[in-house]
Structure 1
Amino acid sequence: MRGVYLPGGRRVDVREVADPEPGPGQVLVGMRASTICGSDLRAIYREHLGEGPEAYQDVIGGHEPCGQVVAVGPGVERTAVGDRVVVYHISGCGRCDECRRGYQISCTSPGRAAYGWQRDGGHADLLLAEERDLLALPDPLTFLDGACVACGFGTAYEALCRVALAGGERVLVTGLGPVGLAVGMLAAAMGSSWVVGTDPSPARRALARDLGAVDVAVESEDELADLLGDGAEVSVDCSGVGAGQLTALRHTRRHGRCAMVGEGGTLTVDVSAVLIHRQLTVHGSWVAPTWRMAELLERLARWDLHPERVVTDRFPLAEAGRAYEVADSGAGGKVAIDLTCTSRDRSPTVRRGGGEREEHG
């Protein structure tokens, strides 16, 4: 089979490797879609970090896999050949407190291994997975939908649940990359009355508006002050830069809630003026537990909301190098390695899922 490796320095290497075989409790998944995450770009493609939970160990890349089971090993009980599955991208020990809560992302065992980071991931024809890491992909959702949920949409949904978004509340999204688009789309489905986004990129602001992910997309803080007055009840930072994080905090209204999602950045803030005196609640939110991701998949099917709408570029596995170049440019939405296509497809679907929304402002 073919597998994609990321040796750093913005290089991509497509290699022929042996097909894996499932052992006890394992399944072999035929990959259908494997999307590219911003953390792949930041921590592997550009820098090749080798420490901490993002320590890339020269395995097949891709931590947003979705596909169909083609073989099962001994002791597999819940999964059958032909099942459509999303792979939860961290395989934890299953015994520590974090794993028992469903937060394999925070597994404290030395044996914790993330797909695409410490064990082979989804940028391949086949993926060897533990059965416990699989989530059922509902029939109404596509393989691209599932890949988008495996990290990005799951992360966005967890953040909105952490801040307990209520119907009728306004939401501010700082950073309109793929996760920011996901936050906007999900906030609307969860009852937000008005979603405002901000991003320095004109192309990303335009895409967010075209997708209906936000009601309004602006560039500057001055525009936010005019739009939101005393601020939004809920803000979510997806920028991963200090300026965007500070913008999110400054434009959260008194007693409001803010979730920090974007990885990276150094934040300098006047704690008294911005946080204490305005009595904000700030959440650090890292991916989602397995049960929350399963809940999201079920709700997406019910809402008729398709995450693949944020995918602007699809490439075959053989063109993984070009896929990473396009993703690294930061000019569009989500970039996918789609094993059902034979050449690049740049045809984003721009439509509103779950019905039209009332425009405000």
Structure 2
Amino acid sequence: RGTFPNGQPGNIIGGVYEGPVEGTYACFLAERAIEKMKSFLNNPAQPFFLALHFFAPHLPYFLPESHINLYNPQDIPLPKSMNETFENKPIVQRHYAAHWCFDCFSKEDWQKIISMYWADVTLVDEQIGRVLRFLDDNGLTEHTAVFFTADHGAFVGSHKLSDKGPAMYDDIYRIPFITRFPGLVQPQFICSEFVSPLIDLTATFLDLCDIPVPSHFDGRSIIPLLKGDIPTDWRKEIYAEFHGHHFPFPQRMIRSKTHKLIINPADIDELYDLVNDPDEMVNQIDNDAYKRVKLSLTEKLYHHLQKTGDNFYHWMTSMHNVSASAQNTESSSFAKK
């Protein structure tokens, strides 16, 4: 752990768990899941649904001796964004770097911290393997759809940050999504379209059960994508919202495959060229060369907020370049209803 700006001990980043692997939370959760699935075997004709939520990999990284030295820190490359300068970036990011005591740790320290994060990922991966082997050993694999995702990613020194917070970089917003679905998804199949697991999975589960997806759902079934059939009207951009972590800090974001726009009412907005700057180091918000991209993303985000009844768009009505034909000063898109 480092030292807070006020001189107090900082947040604990990680350490050694002196018990066995079997005593870790990840192992405990996998064990509970397996025990639950054993009860399903009593009625094999009855469909089942099981949600298994691991806390790891997440700060603080407490690992047993068997895992804490699993990866050699000297072999771990540091992320390019660790060279972040915060130039032309919201000042809250600089404050968060101080909150997580980034400068208290050396390059070697960060390599060790990242190695612990990798080991935490491996620990979870091993436990997921136990669950999948149970399906294999009991003849359930061919009839069971398995989905793996996360609620957010993690800053592990990238952009001089840790954990998560008011910084809408891909490090925490681009999350893993893996599925095993015998008979539907081909092994090694990769979908390059925008999928939002946190809202699309609900619609997907309903689709799998032949239950109509309600029209008011924001998410869509991804079954066509898993089959390799991409609907012509599939989303070309993805949207995200943030309301605060340790304190209120509203943000809205639109991301295409090439650019990302972030609206920060409390500070400078952000625009990143994801093709030429995948690490999101240079904020192009004031660069005239990106004027058309900025306007296009701004209007798309504005329309999306109107459509979903997000009153955040009122801020954009007065403070951003939105065409007069798009402006709407009503309290929300549901006002007429």
**TM-score normalised according to structure 2 size:** 0.24
Q: Which has the higher strand share?
A: 1
- The structure number with the bigger radius of gyration is 2
- Higher relative contact order, chain-length normalized (CA < 8 Å, sep 6+): 1
**TM-score normalised according to structure 1 size:** 0.23
Q: Which has the higher helix share?
A: 2
